[in-house]
Structure formats: structure tokens, C-alpha cells
Amino acid sequence: MAPRRILIFFSDTGGGHRAAANALTEAFHFQFPTRYEINKVDGFKECAPFPLSQIPATYFPLTTYTPQLWGGLFHSSNSRLTLPPSAAMDDALLRRGCARVIRQRKPDLVVSVHPLINRAPCNALKEWNPYIPFATVVTDLFDVHGMWFSAAADLMTVPTQGAFDCGVRWGFPPERMRVVGQPIALQFAPQFNASSAAPFAAQAPNQNANQAAAPNEPPRALRARLGLQPETFTLLLVGGGEGMGPLRAIARALDAAQLPIQLVIIAGRNEALRAQLEHDAWRGPVNVQGFVNNMPDWLRASDIVITKAGPGTIMEALAAGKPLILNGNLPGQEEGNVTFVEQSGVGVLRTTPEAIVKQIRDWLVPDNRAIAQMQANARRVARPDAALEIVKLLDALIH
């Protein structure tokens, strides 16, 4: 039988939406090896008219240099009064382009992992064929924007109970919502063991799975394999796919504090940051990386993860059992993620390099139980196999 076609709408606004689309793709291939053909579409680039089609390219400068403007846009479009016109405008701008892509690809299921490319593809799909299912996979953790709930989706998966409650408040039918977690790379899932990973990873589309997985590799061996000191307490610094935030200032403060630590700094696609970090003189051990394709390995090799409040990185760190220091959040969009981390007891928000150094110093005091407690909490709230759970629900929509 010919494979059934799935169309996933995402956009490269940050790294998280593509990471979620990739996680679903590899989970589909893993769970149902020959049943599906998956197509991913950057909804802004491929469906929006100019200048909206440039949104992915402007995301980094907009969120880095004018975060307050970004937060203002988030909040001002997220009230009972302003959401309906905002959603209608978004729909009007994207629907034609989405309809064109849907007619071309003739999907058997359409999935959105983006709050702004959600209502338009749903409406376009239902105009083309009302019997084809549409699903939204929410990738913000808590107190999420109402735009996620603006499509008449047949199924909505959400990462937490907080996001579920939010959907109920926005009037989305609870019987069509499921709390299943954030779709993250399959390498985090217990079902995905090293022996089955190798042949699968070679053909997997997920960038995160394109190196041999090592889920059970002891941290010391993993550190040695990654070129790190095997025995040294390891802090991982990352700023999403784009290398956002004051990573360099934090790293320099930690290095100057002369703690018994080593630093791994993942600059992502921020080549300028990477070049600076490689050029800097460091007192202690520092390992600088650009965009890595094996994030699960780097997370597992670390003891603490220092990051902005990106939902993908947060849930990946928790799946690896690692406590978090959030060094900041995008106004609006990532505020709920901070609430989630603090309420779950898996990390803290520390917004200055000095406060981060102090926190690490406190945690490193012998007999401090805080890290062990956060590790236990991380394992409790993590949903490492969420992508597999989600694709089972999506499969059931078709069959």
C-alpha cells in the first residue's frame, strides 16, 4: 500500500518548532516504519506573502535587539478583545498560501507545531476536504498564547496540565485535548536503544539523531568521547538554536570565579558568538561548539544546564535528568516556561552572571541536596517519549 501523506507546518522562528517537527517525523518513522511519508513546510517562508515570508530571518534580530517590542506584540494580541482580530488577520494572510501547498501535497493528515501557522492551514484544509483530520501540537509549556487554540483542530496535544487549563480557558473543547508532553528527539525515549538506533539514525531526518545514540553510556565515558574532562563537574550553556542571550558574559563570570567546573558553550547558529568564544582566553576548561546535531549527548554529559527559557531545551534537559538555571526568557512567549520550571522544582531563574555564579557556588557546597532533589523532580516531570505518544494519537486520527 502506498504510504499515507502527512504535512507538518512549522517555521524557523527559533529552533524549537523545527526540532518538534523533526521529533514527530522520526517518531513516525520509528513507530510506523513504512506507513507514512512526511512533508515539512515552513509556513512563513512558503505560504506567507512578502514581507511576512521574511519573519524567520527577522526573528533573531527582533527578539535579540527589541525583546520588549516582541513581548508587547505577544501580550497585546492575547486578550479576549484582541485575539479574534489578530487570528483573523493571521488567517487572511496565510490561508491562500497554505491552500496552495495543501492542494499540491494532497495530505491525509495535517499537523501544525506553530501558533501562528495553525488556524490558516486548518481552514484551508477543511475547505479542500472537510474529512481530512487536522491536529495542533502545542510546543509552549504553560500559560500559552491563545493563538494556539484558534484553529478548529480535531486533536490538540499539549505538553503540561497548565497548557491544558489554558486551552480550556480559551474555550477549546477539552475532549479534543490530550496532555502528552513536548515532542523531543527520539534519543531521549527509553524505547529507543542503541542497537536499534544505528540503522534507523542513518536515514532519520532529525538532525538530533544523526549520530549514534548512546542512551545508556555512563556520563564519564560520554564526556571522554566528547573531548571533555571525564571527572569534572560540567555546566552546559546554550541559548536555543540561535545562540541567544548573554552566554559570553555568563561564561566569563563563571570562568573568573575559578570554581571546580568545566564549561561547554553551545553557540548554535550564532557564528559571531562562536568566533568570539573561540578567540577568548580562558582560565579553566572551556569547550566551545557551534550548532550541534547531537544535543542529547551534550545534555547527558552535563550536570547543570544554563539556558534561556526555550521550551525545547527545557524539556530535553529534564528528559536527560538535568537541573536548570534559566538565565532569562523572551518577554511574553517564554514567561510561562519559567513558571513551569520553578513550580516543578527543577530549576531557578537567575538573570545576571553574578547571580548565576552565586547559585552554582551554593549548589557545589558539599552535602547540598538541592541538585539531587532537582534531578529527582526532573525525572518525575519529564516526558521523554512524548513524540511516540503523540504520533500514536495522530495515527489513530487516520485509522
The footprint of ligand UDP (CB under 6 A) covers 14-16, 19, 208, 238, 240-242, 266, 268, 291-292, 295, 310-313, 316
Cβ closer to ligand UDP: 124 or 288? 288
Distances, alpha carbon 118 to alpha carbons 90, 272, 305, in Å: 9, 33, 31
In angstroms, rounded to a whole number, what is the distance separating the alpha carbons of residues 46 and 347? 38
Cβ closer to ligand UDP: 16 or 67? 16
In the complex, the smallest distance separating the C-beta of residue 313 from ligand UDP, rounded to whole angstroms, is: 3
Residue 51, preceding peptide bond in cis (omega within 30° of 0): yes
Phi, psi (deg, nearest 5) at residue 236: -105, 125
In the complex, the smallest distance separating the C-beta of residue 59 from ligand UDP, rounded to whole angstroms, is: 8
495522530: which residue's cell? Answer: 394
Cβ closer to ligand UDP: 91 or 188? 188
Residue 389's identity, in one-letter code, is E
In the complex, the smallest distance separating the C-beta of residue 311 from ligand UDP, rounded to whole angstroms, is: 5
In the complex, the smallest distance separating the C-beta of residue 56 from ligand UDP, rounded to whole angstroms, is: 11
Cβ closer to ligand UDP: 14 or 181? 14
* Closest residue to ligand UDP, based on beta-carbon distance: 310
Can you say whether the dihedral through the CA atoms of 215, 218, 221, 223 is positive or negative?
positive
In the complex, the smallest distance separating the C-beta of residue 32 from ligand UDP, rounded to whole angstroms, is: 23
Phi, psi (deg, nearest 5) at residue 137: -110, 105
Cβ closer to ligand UDP: 125 or 244? 244
In the complex, the smallest distance separating the C-beta of residue 370 from ligand UDP, rounded to whole angstroms, is: 23
In angstroms, rounded to a whole number, what is the distance separating the alpha carbons of residues 158 and 169? 14
The number of angstroms, rounded, from the C-alpha of 165 to the middle of its chain's C-alpha atoms is 20
Angle between helices 370-381 and 353-363 in degrees, nearest 10: 100
Q: Is residue 187 within 8 Å of 19, Cβ to Cβ?
A: no
Q: Is residue 23 within 8 Å of 209, Cβ to Cβ?
A: no
In the complex, the smallest distance separating the C-beta of residue 361 from ligand UDP, rounded to whole angstroms, is: 26
Q: Is residue 291 within 8 Å of 241, Cβ to Cβ?
A: yes
In angstroms, rounded to a whole number, what is the distance separating the alpha carbons of residues 122 and 125? 5
Cβ closer to ligand UDP: 31 or 270? 270
Cβ closer to ligand UDP: 91 or 297? 297
